Structure 1
Amino acid sequence: MHPRFAAVVKAYDVRGRSPEQLDASLARALGAAFVDETGASKAVVGRDMRTSSPEIAGAIADGIRSRGADVVDIGLASTDMLYCASGVLELPGVMVTASHNPPGDNGLKMCRAGARPIGIDTGLRAMAEAAGDLLDAPTEPTGSIETIDFLSTYVETLLRIAPVHGRPLKVAIDAGNGMAGHTVPPVFEALRSAGNDLEVIPLYLELDGTFPNHEANPLDHSTLVDLQAAVRANGADLGLAFDGDADRCFVIDENGDVVAPSAITGLIATRALAVEPGATILYNVITSKAVAEIVSERGGTAVRTPVGHSLIKAEMGRTGAVFGGEHSGHFYFRDFYLADSGMLAALHVLGALGEQDVRLSELMAEFTRYVASGEINSRVDDAAAVIEKLASTYADHEQDRMDGLTVDGGAGEDGGWWFNVRPSNTEPLLRLNVEGSDDDTMARVRDEVLAIIRG
């Protein structure tokens, strides 16, 4: 692989500093290679609000057109809006975004027709290798380009999948100056037109690729402080925080507390099983074990997967799962082309809360059964050696290697617990997640494992 591509091609997408690493020439070559890999005669292109996105999107379109393929340009879009367009139009697609990365970064998320993902082992490596030979090749765009407004179709698709009805709700929404600022207003306008009484308290809905208020990364709970304060100050029923490209959503309850994505997974799984009894639900290796318990109790089939959107989408297709959740705040829906959508997850929460006369914290209590550490990263020189040391230390406990190492302590006298440790795909890091039956159990196991990891 050409070194310029090796620097920006990741496990699931392309990402790097722009223009230092990802510039128009790189994007143009990848656009041409994208057509060669997918066999597309037409492709859809969308972009986020980053300052470099118009140039990168234009270069991608030029690369696609240089191969004689046509481009459908949907302009400003969230990533799930691009996936929706890929599904509705039955076209492969490219989304220009670096999601929650710093403002100086940019990237590309690619999919085949029907929003089928393209990752490092499903076409991205081959594209990058081919694009290396196209960097200096002359390009003559011969394909056409058509600009369309897809926003209304996106909104209609969401509300058909997850309609909202019920009591009046006050909702604080933090878009972090990302693409939710483009998609949230028309979604809520459509909800009101359908008869819903919804009051919105907006935070940072203005599109600004410099992220002047805070990073658009709700996985970092320090970015949620303003939303938590707004929920408390305004007596809101809940808060919604979206990441930069709006494919992830985090939820804040009426007390200003963060609702764990695993609990949201349990809630949406319950709603899905009420519609389709016995259905299959996916959850990944760092999701709370409460999810599998809840799915089983409600007559569904719970299937555990590795972490990563390409992997979970492939497993959804294989198993016919109706829904899948990741503890990182990604939620996947069969009826949304197996793709993830922060907005769809938010609509499910609004729908569930609106249908019941309880507070969100009360609604979520049944889905919150254990105490989690959150993901803890440690820099290590030899991740494989550390994992083997952990496996040896906990050899008398149940283990599996689906994704890194998971050790299950069962439900003994010292309390039930489990942990997963897995290496980063891109950095010399080990990522640790611990869950326990109570605070003391979780903290004890967390500290024991970290002592081994950090030596």
Structure 2
Amino acid sequence: MSSLSCFKAYDIRGKLGDELNDEIAYRIGRAFSEIINVDTVVLGGDCRLSSEDLKQALAQGLMDGGVNVLDLGMTGTEEIYFATSHLKLNGGIEVTASHNPINYNGMKMVTTGSQPVSGDNGLLAIKQLAESQSFQPKAATKGHYQKISVMSEYIQHMLSYIDCDRLAKQVGQKPIRLVVNAGNGAAGSVLDEIESELRNRQVPIEFIKLHHQADGTFPNGIPNPLLIENRQATSDAVIKHKADMGIAWDGDFDRCFLFDEKGQYIEGYYIVGLLAQAFLRKEKGATVIHDSRLIWNTQEICNQTGGYAVQSKAGHAYIKQLMRQHDAVYGGEMSAHHYFRDFHYCDSGMIPWLLVIELLSNQGITLSQAVEQRISAYPASGEINFTITDPQAAIAKVRRHYENHILNRELEGRELEIVGIDESDGLSMSLTETKAAHEKAQWRFNLRCSKTEPLIRLNVESKGDIGLMKQKTAEIMYLLTNQTDPTNLIHM
């Protein structure tokens, strides 16, 4: 029995060829039909050149298991989330590798209510059956295949999150000018539909479209705006066209990334706080879920607006589970995943920017004005990724470094105190340093291993001290790259 390495903690993702191919996709379809109690499954796929063939092989496996297949064609992941619940189905699968390299593909699976199929919630059993191929005999009645569209219903749902009539009146004669960068992924066709419907509702809006056409060869690079080198085109276009905001998406557009009117990329951490604030102003006392990587800004906003902040491990399966448990109105990850109770607790890359343009219009401010105070109050490093042979040993090394300095009671003349240690998602440490004139400075970091890639991820934040944040980021980076004496970075 060969092991299928394409199965990850949250989804399926692997290199094309040995790790994921049409034959494996067929086996996954057969396994899904037996493990998940389904009679009809909705399928979609991103624009990667391999997605259509993988989707059709998956469909054959499902149909041989007696499952009916509804094919939406080229879609983003959230269209599958929407269709599964809208059509009251008990299964949905998106064929996508999102932001992974061009020689990868994968699948994201949901069941009744668009709940994720992951880990112990069916994914492991699907993996084991697909590996053993101990399938039941093919169904006496093969499932049928049908191409459908729910685009109109999906667009109407997206626009239900904003008050288009009020927005039209507030905007007036000057249109909202947005740079939209689909990254040659699946977002372009949805943006066209949203643009058309906003105009039908008399909302003056102008889309300046970059890399708009879906192209699985990705002529402008893999759509992953988390990579600094992939942000320049959006930033430049915002400045050139004097746009109000820039928006970029990854390949399956379940994440969106925002740029202010100056072309500056806004870290997802601050967008989480902005959206939390927007929801809590509408629903006092509601709960917001946030991930563990960067926390202080979101927690303070929730406290100030009468809401409740609940911390979760990073990853959509964990966030969605906690949102259901707490009936949370919104959940956000600094990686630009945003989750909404009214969207079946799922993540969307279209709802966030619609909410942000409404919020900015309501308050008559720019995006930079909306976040500048929060960035100053809680400066953050943004996520920094490292490929390290033994990530657990590297994390342990960082912990020992600070614990040892606590024992010595000083760090280059600065007294250091560990305020808290949290190991619920990697290693988080909150620390206080006493500097000159007994001034106390607070900072924290999170180090965690990626569940989907061979990486270790670092995030650092401070309370109102950007210099300290940069200094501590450099210090931990120095430790992680197997250097032995980080203390010479104290005075960088």
What range describes the TM-score normalised by the shorter chain of this pair?
over 0.9
1:97 aligns with 2:119: no
Output aligned runs, 1:247-396, within 5 Å.
Answer: 247-368=254-375, 369-395=377-403, 396=417
Name 1:452's counterpart in structure 2.
479
1:232 aligns with 2:239: yes
Output aligned runs, 1:33-44, within 5 Å.
Answer: 33-44=31-42
Counterpart of 2:383, as a letter, is E
1:91-119: per-residue Cα shift (whole Å, max 9, x none)? 21000111011222211000112110111
Instruction: Please state whether the residue corresponding to 1:342 is helix, strand or coil.
Output: coil
User: Residues 74 and 136 (structure 1 numbering): CA distance in 2 closer, same or farther, change over 3 Å?
Assistant: same
Match of 2:424 among 380, 399, 402: 402
1:187-227: per-residue Cα shift (whole Å, max 9, x none)? 12111211210011000110101110122001112111111
1:24 aligns with 2:22: yes
Q: CA deviation at 1:386?
A: 2.9
CA distance, structure 2, for counterparts of residue 247 and residue 278 of structure 1: 27
Name 2:190's counterpart in structure 1.
183
CA distance, structure 2, for counterparts of residue 402 and residue 361 of structure 1: 33
Q: CA deviation at 1:157?
A: 1.0
CA distance, structure 2, for counterparts of residue 428 and residue 259 of structure 1: 26
Q: CA deviation at 1:253?
A: 0.5
Counterpart of 2:478, as a letter, is A
Instruction: Please state whether the residue corresponding to 1:226 is helix, strand or coil.
Output: helix
Counterpart of 2:347, as a letter, is D
Instruction: Please state whether the residue corresponding to 1:189 is helix, strand or coil.
Output: helix
1:225-281: per-residue Cα shift (whole Å, max 9, x none)? 111111000000000001000000000001000112111111111111122110000
Counterpart of 2:477, as a letter, is L
Instruction: Please state whether the residue corresponding to 2:63 is helix, strand or coil.
Output: helix
Are 2:294 and 2:460, in contact at CA under 8 Å, matched by a contact in 1? Answer: no
Q: CA deviation at 1:161?
A: 2.7
Q: CA deviation at 1:144?
A: 1.0
Q: CA deviation at 1:26?
A: 0.5
Are 1:172 and 1:240, in contact at CA under 8 Å, matched by a contact in 2? Answer: yes
User: Residues 145 and 428 (structure 1 numbering): CA distance in 2 closer, same or farther, change over 3 Å?
Assistant: closer
User: Residues 298 and 411 (structure 1 numbering): CA distance in 2 closer, same or farther, change over 3 Å?
Assistant: farther
Instruction: Please state whether the residue corresponding to 1:200 is helix, strand or coil.
Output: strand
Counterpart of 2:125, as a letter, is A
Name 1:162's counterpart in structure 2.
162
Are 1:45 and 1:94, in contact at CA under 8 Å, matched by a contact in 2? Answer: yes
Q: CA deviation at 1:427?
A: 4.9
Gaps of 5+ in 2: 404-416, 483-492
* Superposition RMSD in Å: 1.9
CA distance, structure 1, for counterparts of residue 98 and residue 454 of structure 2: 22
Name 1:417's counterpart in structure 2.
443
CA distance, structure 1, for counterparts of residue 401 and residue 20 of structure 2: 43
Counterpart of 1:391, as a letter, is R
User: Residues 118 and 163 (structure 1 numbering): CA distance in 2 closer, same or farther, change over 3 Å?
Assistant: farther
Q: Which moved more, 1:247-256 or 1:189-198?
A: 189-198
1:433 aligns with 2:459: yes
Match of 1:54 among 52, 55, 60: 52
Counterpart of 1:124, as a letter, is L
Among all aligned residue pairs of Structure 1 and Structure 2, give the percentage whose two residues are the same amino acid: 37
User: Residues 428 and 154 (structure 1 numbering): CA distance in 2 closer, same or farther, change over 3 Å?
Assistant: closer
Counterpart of 1:440, as a letter, is G
1:296-338: per-residue Cα shift (whole Å, max 9, x none)? 1000000111111111111111111110110100000010000
Match of 2:72 among 74, 77, 81: 74
Name 2:489's counterpart in structure 1.
none
Counterpart of 2:130, as a letter, is A
Gaps of 5+ in 1: none
User: Residues 235 and 288 (structure 1 numbering): CA distance in 2 closer, same or farther, change over 3 Å?
Assistant: farther
Instruction: Please state whether the residue corresponding to 2:240 is helix, strand or coil.
Output: helix
Instruction: Please state whether the residue corresponding to 1:258 is helix, strand or coil.
Output: coil
User: Residues 426 and 85 (structure 1 numbering): CA distance in 2 closer, same or farther, change over 3 Å?
Assistant: closer
Which one has the largest radius of gyration?
2
Instruction: Please state whether the residue corresponding to 1:202 is helix, strand or coil.
Output: strand
CA distance, structure 2, for counterparts of residue 328 and residue 191 of structure 1: 28
Question: What is the number of residues matched between the two proteins?
Answer: 453
Counterpart of 1:388, as a letter, is A
